[in-house]
Amino acid sequence: MNSGLYAALAVPFLAVAVLTAVAAGIVAARRSGPSAPGGSRARAVSGRRIALIAGIVAGIALLVMTVVFNNVIVTLGIVAYDPARISGIRVGAFPIEDLAYAIAAAFLLPALWVLFDRAGGRDQTAGRDRVAATGTRHATQPPTRPEDPR
């Protein structure tokens, strides 16, 4: 009888990843609210849509690579699973619960990117446009060098 111990071990990782992704979604929604600095709400929604699509594409690529390389390392005997501790469902040569870590990473990494965004969702290029228009520098921009008079 299969105990599913490996699946049970993956549950906390998935739970942390999903909760972090929910928190990141709340933070991103608050940053792009009606008083969002540096731009309109429509631009923020468009940016979130692009980030979501990029995250989905990256997540699918991660899952595909996980399936390919897990099959290779299990088939070559580099990694083995105790049959008594897996659910019994396999994707090729490896147990399905091994995909939980790739799924957790696909949720967790973009969420951490949002949560640790030092710009707070603001457009980093806005200051450059202001320099060109007004000749004044934003506090975080390096000083410009004078043109060579030759």
Give the model's pLDDT for residue 46.
72
CA–CA distance, 5 with 98 (Å, rounded to integer): 12
**Strands 94-95, 90-91: parallel, antiparallel or unpaired by DSSP?**
antiparallel
CA–CA distance, 112 with 122 (Å, rounded to integer): 17
Give 130's pLDDT tier (boundaries 50, 70, 90): very low
Picking from 97, 80, 99, the residue whose alpha carbon sits closest to that of residue 8 is: 97
Q: pLDDT per residue over 47-82, tens digit each?
A: 777 878 888 999 999 999 999 999 999 999 999 999
CA–CA distance, 141 with 128 (Å, rounded to integer): 8
Mean pLDDT (the chain) is 80
Give 43's pLDDT tier (boundaries 50, 70, 90): low
Say whether pLDDT at 111 is over 50. yes
Phi, psi of 95 (to 5 degrees): -70, 145
